[in-house]
A and B are shown apart, each in its own frame.
Chain A
Amino acid sequence: MCGICGILKLDSTHADPHQLDRMIAPLRHRGPDASGIHVAGVAGLAHARLSIIDLQGGAQPMSTTDARLWITFNGEIFNFVELREELVRKGHCFATRSDTEVILHAYREYGEDCVNHFNGQWAFAIWDTTRQKMFLSRDRLGVRPLFYTRTRDSFLFSSEIKALLICPKVTAEIDLHGLDQIFTFWSTLPPRTVFKDIFQLPPGSSMVVESGNIRVWKYWSLEYAPVEEHGQLDEGRLAEELLSLLSEATRIRLRSDVPVGAYLSGGIDSTVTTALVKKLAGDRLRSFSVSFEDAEFDESSYQQEASSFIGTQHTNVCCSYADIARVFPQVIWHTEQPILRTAPAPMFLLSNLVRESGFKVVLTGEGADEMLGGYDIFKEAKIRRFWGRNLESTWRPLLLKRLYPYMENIQRQSPVYLKSFFRVTPDDLVSPFFSHLPRWELTAKLKVFFSDDVRSQILPGEAFAAIERALPEGYLTWSTFNQAEYLESAHLLPGYILSSQGDRMAMAHSVEGRYPFLDYRVVEFAAKLPPNLKMKVLDQKHLLKLASNGLIPASIRQRPKQPYRAPDGKSFFTWAMPEYVNELLSSRVLQQNGIFDASAVSALVNKFKAGRANGVKDNMALIGILSTQIVIDHFINQSKGPQDASNFEHSSCH
């Protein structure tokens, strides 16, 4: 795991090694073990290394022995052992044991199609000196980030946006359309980012920059079976197949020359991955988790139970309201985009714990909810559609209460109001976004806080039109359940879960996350499953529960789904408001930045101060506004860098 960046000059001048030095410097958290730069005429590559595989021989940028191909690579190719054998049989000679060198030889053998042979999580750039061509690629699901921009005379790329913004010819400006998308979908739609003219290579895509032209294409996309292809299948056999695929996915994710740990949240997914690691790697497995001071969010009893059952040495970091408020500016320094929930902040504390415990690699359960029918939004859509078949029914909406047992405000509603909040109209029933309309429409209401100037530059419905244009061919032939899974997997997963909550929080403390559920073989298997095996009636992750029978404690298999959440607005108001919050939400700074309406934000802040802001919408608004103000402060106004992350004091649970 590492940080990468590079330059390709488009005006035939030489790439500047000093500029590469400056670009790689802010990425050192991604790779503190070593760094390297290679400049060859118009092209320059830089690398900050976190040594995990072939500690001695894996230095980068790396070249083939004839020095014709150079690479800078972030990530892992987990099947590099098998690929290497295959390439040796074809006559390739290797100088190292690293997966990096395997990419170079695979590129030489298979050209741009080499990525189809990889099973892993990657972002890399290969400079082909013979063809004077830069080839870049990003893994199928978007685990690893890759950003790029183009100036008058250069093409620039990097693992994180901050390395691009350091270049004098790159200006940091908020992309209002990107902001509009975040305040609708929680993330931007690739290639857009929240910064104008800075793009991300979409997941499952490769690109070539050659003779001044940029070509981007998708080499892989998530495809579900059309409705009519779902037959009746033997669920016992499929559960076995799922477990076997997950074991294999875990096995190759244990390839590492440093010890591997596991995140253990107390839910089914990470308990399954931890149990598989234990089975495959044997004794002395270390597991890590975050617990919460506030019992509403805390799952530590389940974490302890899972740890005892599996037999791990478990370590926990407790997160308080004050912790979230304290680390939030650093969190946003790493997310590099506004967020609507504080949930990444505890993950930031967790990766710090892992790093301090001497670990660089953890396996986690991300991806199971998206691929195997775990999220409440799928269940909600199923109930709303069931109700939509008889809109006059008085009892069908009551099923909605079963959806959110942990949300008091839903439990206390009368049937009439429930019907209004989860309203289903005939138009909704035929929308391709049926499952996501309530979430997106609720989130879009936060735009009431945008300033008049910003609102005048965003067309109503623009974000919805953009996501509709991005729908893949065949989408309408999929079951509505799979459509919902697609929307989560193609957008929220890479745009928020794997980035703001995943890569960015782990890499902030030089920790690499590995995700067995996101092995493409597991993903493709899951995409072909009939939806009723993923969610049987209203039983979420039904097949995974079957597959994990005996592997994990029954209480964890049977517990109701508890989505991972953290305290939001309350973190900033339970005691004295941190000074930076006061400053960034002041009318003066709000007006200066121009994105939000200062008086509306002031009314929101007053509502929080009075203890009256308890709803999802108010909380998302506060976090969205505050994080946007921090993004502007860090990356545009540059009044100060992130606070020093090294001085954390860990609070302890009482």
Chain B
Amino acid sequence: MQATSNTAAVTDDIRQFVIENFLFGKGENLQNGESLLDRGVIDSTGVLELIQYIEDRYGIKVEDEEAIPQNLDGVNNVASYVCKKLNHVV
């Protein structure tokens, strides 16, 4: 699938992934800005699943030092991180 760097589209895509994969469809109340860790949505395997997903889906490489909550904790944070990677900002 062709990756897109449109932030809104990436946000929707990440949100869909999180809802389907971690909330099993029950994600109506999920706020894009909220922490997935605080909400208990994501566990140690979940972080790896998320990394694998964005790497496969967007053809990016998440470096070890980038695997931090500022980049990966929350739909908006992930989308913004992915877009920066796609635009080679980080």
Contacts and interface: CB of A to CB of B under 8 A. Distances in A.
Instruction: Give the residue among A417, A603, A616 with the most B Cβ atoms within 10 A.
Output: A417
A91 interface: no
A417 B24 contact: no
B24 A615 contact: no
A298 to B, nearest CB: 22
B46 interface: yes
A600 interface: yes
Question: What's the dominant secondary structure at chain B's contact region?
Answer: helix
A629 B64 CA distance: 41
B43 A616 contact: yes
Could you say which interface size class chain A belongs to? 20 to 34
A410 B45 CA distance: 8
A603 B20 contact: yes
B45 A597 contact: no
Instruction: Give the residue among B24, B48, B68 with the most A Cβ atoms within 10 A.
Output: B24
Contact of A617 (B20, B26, B45, B47): B45
A191 B44 CA distance: 35
A441 B38 CA distance: 13
A410 B48 CA distance: 10
Nearest to B64: A414
Contacts of A414: 64-65, 67-68
Contact of A600 (B24, B37, B43): B24
B49 interface: yes
Contact of A441 (B26, B40, B64): B40
B14 to A, nearest CB: 15
Interface in A616-646: 616-618
A420 interface: yes
Interface string B45-71: 111110000000000000011011100
Contacts of B64: 414
B23 interface: yes
B24 A603 contact: yes
B21 interface: yes
Nearest to A442: B43
Given A442-B43, A615-B46, A420 B25 contact: no
Contacts of A597: 24, 26
Interface in B16-42: 20-21, 23-26, 37, 40
Complex A-B, nearest 5 residue pairs according to Cβ-Cβ distance, in ascending order: A615-B45, A600-B24, A603-B24, A409-B45, A420-B37
Given A407-B44, A448-B26, A616-B43, 4 more contacts: A421-B43, A614-B45, A616-B45, A617-B43
25 contacts: A407-B44, A412-B48, A413-B44, A414-B65, A414-B68, A416-B69, A417-B47, A417-B67, A420-B37, A420-B69, A421-B44, A441-B40, A445-B40, A448-B26, A449-B24, A599-B24, A600-B26, A603-B24, A607-B21, A612-B21, A612-B49, A615-B45, A615-B46, A616-B43, A617-B45
